[in-house]
Structure 1
Amino acid sequence: MRGRAIKLSASRRLVGDLMKFSIGVPRVTVQRKMNISALLAARTAQPVRPSWTVLFLKAYALLAQELPDLRRAYVKFPTPRLYEYSGNVASIAHEREYEGERIVLLSLIRAPEKRSITELQTLIEAARSRPVMEVKEFRRILKFAHLPGPIRWLVMWLGLNLGRQRPRFFGTFQFSVYSGLGAESLNPLTPLTTLLNYGPIDDDGTVTVRIHYDHRVMDGANVARALDRLENILNGEVTGELKGLAQTGANPGTTALRTAT
């Protein structure tokens, strides 16, 4: 059967490059069914609701700041070792439309654990709504995608294996969620140490949350304990900050987000 050849777009080349480096990571998944009814109630009470992405991002950043394992990376240059970072840089996946194609692009947020829910909401909204080429990370990576393959792979290998430079280009953890579409990813790939995602949130606040982690860096029992602590942070510190916004009348976003995920 005859068909047609379709040239790889810049975004599809980027996905291929990321998969090239992600496949070699011995990734394992630990999941926990959580009850975040306290956070759900606090979010529902907001006149303008922050996205679930922002709330989970803030909670995971606080968790990673508390647990050094989540801030470590396995690097190979000059010799294989673990490298521990003093803070977090979140890598957030966004679906955007670019040149007639739906593509996935990554934005970086430095020190999300030190930012307020309001500030995180503003940053996420900007990455989701501003023209693609006006977002620094998007513009840089799409330009990078036009380089020849061998050059891209060398630069990416160095970026992932030079300990001090890795967060600057890739972040320290990744966040990718499809729950707003009523679906969830069971086996996402990333070259980073951890990737957090979660499924649809039920009306009673029940949700399945997963940490996909590099087994060279940590073990499953540590991740299981981390998920237990994450549930406490969601219902504790993050819920407390949300309630504080309601009391002060602060707006957690720049646009109405009642249907945001």
Structure 2
Amino acid sequence: MPRRLIIDLMRASCDVPFVSLARTLNIRPLLEARGAAASPPGFAAVFVKAFALVARDEPTLRTLYVKWPWPAFYELPRNIAMVATARVEDGEPCVLPQRVGDPDRLTLAEVDAIIRWGKEAPADQVPAFRKMLLTTRLPWPLRRLAWWVGLSFGRQRANWFGNFAVTGVSAYGGGELHALSPGPYILSFDVAKPDGTIGAMIRWDHRVTDAALIARTFARLEEVLNGEIAAEIRASRASEPKPVRAIGA
């Protein structure tokens, strides 16, 4: 079933005219904040919330291209992120998309917990997985109809695929990942380097926007990672319980 889901997902992604822009981000303040935290959030959660904070103030990053009842743009009132989650189902490695709603309104700990739940919980207990796998079990004619509905209507497309996806292979050594998705924006990230930098890539639906906005998005993303995100990690560290020291008589 998970491989059939990926096949359907790739078929749905074929018509999206993706363009890519890669950039190296200087995130030394973020890395220092993470290094000082006892339980730092994963980089997936960090990038999900950071991109959502940028998209909150930039409506184009929350805009989809839909085809029915006629070609149009559909602006989402809030962020919905889809996170590629590596799992093992029935002894086979696979990837399933975990849904994170309103990540800009959640704490980093909450975003991280949702992503970790998607990695560790049984698939039938994760709503996003359960819905997609139920659809994937349908016979092809019904499955095709379900995908058509999910791709053609703005609200349904947002519910199924969100306004952006986050993925990466940093846990497996890193690399430049050119991912595909029916959604309009895909953010991937590499392994953080010892010099305080990290490679990142944004792929986007060229029907929705152009490279100038994505270049500005990278600049703003770097600011948010080193600003709001690093500050939240430092604040969470300050609120961690202090260890109790035993004092002898």
Separation (CA, whole Å) in 1 of partners of 2:237 and 2:195 = 21
1:143 corresponds to which of 115, 128, 134: 134
Q: 2:246 corresponds to which residue?
A: none
Q: Is the contact between residue 96 and residue 132 of structure 1 (CA under 8 Å) also seen in structure 2?
A: no
Moved more, 128-137 or 92-101: 128-137
2:193 corresponds to which of 202, 208, 214: 202
1:49 corresponds to which of 40, 56, 59: 40
Instruction: Give the 3-state SS of the residue equivalent to 2:155 in structure 1.
Output: coil
Matched, 1:85 2:110: no
Q: Is the contact between residue 31 and residue 224 of structure 1 (CA under 8 Å) also seen in structure 2?
A: no
Deviation at 1:193, TM superposition (A): 0.3
Matched, 1:238 2:238: no
Deviation at 1:150, TM superposition (A): 2.4
For structure 2, list consecutive stretches of 5 or more residues without a partner in the other structure. 242-249
Q: Is the contact between residue 33 and residue 233 of structure 2 (CA under 8 Å) also seen in structure 1?
A: yes
Separation (CA, whole Å) in 2 of partners of 1:180 and 1:227 = 22
Q: 1:177 corresponds to which residue?
A: 168
Q: 1:59 corresponds to which residue?
A: 50
Runs of 4+, deviation exceeding 4 Å: none
The count of corresponding residues between Structure 1 and Structure 2 is 241
Show the 5 A alignment for 1:102-181. Answer: 102-181=93-172
Deviation digits for residues 42-68 of structure 1, max 9, x if unmatched? 000001121111111110110111111
Q: Is the contact between residue 65 and residue 113 of structure 1 (CA under 8 Å) also seen in structure 2?
A: yes
Q: 1:27 corresponds to which residue?
A: 18
Matched, 1:74 2:65: yes
Deviation digits for residues 146-201 of structure 1, max 9, x if unmatched? 11122212211211221122222221211111111112343211110000001111
For structure 1, list consecutive stretches of 5 or more residues without a partner in the other structure. 1-9, 251-261
Instruction: Give the 3-state SS of the residue equivalent to 1:222 in structure 2.
Output: helix
1:213 corresponds to which of 204, 226, 237: 204
Q: Is the contact between residue 31 and residue 227 of structure 1 (CA under 8 Å) also seen in structure 2?
A: no
Deviation at 1:138, TM superposition (A): 1.4
CA RMSD of the aligned region, Å? 1.2
Instruction: Give the 3-state SS of the residue equivalent to 1:200 in structure 2.
Output: coil
Q: 1:259 corresponds to which residue?
A: none
Q: 1:257 corresponds to which residue?
A: none
